[in-house]
């Protein structure tokens, strides 16, 4: 059920990102980003080893999106909080944060897909274990 924790962590990180936009809380967002970049690759490694037809590709997409997100976040940080010149001027300064938010949304979507798949697999495994025990039957209702 690490995927559920990862989904909650990514959702919280998106909230922290909104706090940068509206309150300037960059330290909280950077700490959340560090947590995501430590925890989510652990989850994706476990998902890729399962060989599941849905979870494994979602895990690979998560790794790619995390790399993209890191680059977009760095670009957004440089554009907003430093005097570093960025090619493209105002268009780039607008496009970087928008793309960063879009990538964050795609990361959340990919981890939710993986979490749904894992929860469903766990539910099926538990139902099979209950059905295999003599004298017990599964009642759905």
Kindly list the domain boundaries of the chain, sorted by start residue.
Answer: 2-132
Compute the mean pLDDT over every residue in the chain, rounded to the nearest whole number: 88
**Euclidean distance between CA atoms 106 and 71, whole angstroms:** 15
Whether the pLDDT of residue 104 is over 90: the answer is: yes
Encode pLDDT of 15-45 as tens digits: 999 998 888 889 999 999 999 999 999 999 9
Helix (H, G, I), strand (E, B) or coil at 28: helix
Whether the pLDDT of residue 133 is over 50: the answer is: yes
Helix (H, G, I), strand (E, B) or coil at 24: coil
pLDDT of res. 111? 95
- The pLDDT of 45-50, averaged and rounded, is 91
What pTM does this model have? 0.84
8 Å CB contact between 73 and 100 = yes
Q: Contacts for 134-138 with beta carbons within 8 Å, 24 or more apart?
A: none
8 Å CB contact between 86 and 75 = yes
pLDDT of res. 99? 96
- The pLDDT of 114-128, averaged and rounded, is 86
Q: Which of 101, 102, 3, 109 is nearest to 52 (CA)?
A: 3
**Euclidean distance between CA atoms 55 and 66, whole angstroms:** 16
pLDDT of res. 7? 96
């Amino acid at each position: 059920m690490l995927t559920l924790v990862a989904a909650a962590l990514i959702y919280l990180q998106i909230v922290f990102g909104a706090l940068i936009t509206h309150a300037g809380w960059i330290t909280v967002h950077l700490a959340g980003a560090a947590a995501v970049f430590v925890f989510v690759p652990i989850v994706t490694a476990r998902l890729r080893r399962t060989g599941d037809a849905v979870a494994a590709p979602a895990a690979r997409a998560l790794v790619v999106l995390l790399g993209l997100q890191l680059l977009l976040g760095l670009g957004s940080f440089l554009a907003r909080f430093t005097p570093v010149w960025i090619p493209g001027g105002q268009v780039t300064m607008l496009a970087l944060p928008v793309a960063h938010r879009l990538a964050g949304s795609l990361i959340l979507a990919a981890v939710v897909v993986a979490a749904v798949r894992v929860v469903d697999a766990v539910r099926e495994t538990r139902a099979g274990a209950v059905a295999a025990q003599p004298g017990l039957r599964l009642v759905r209702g």
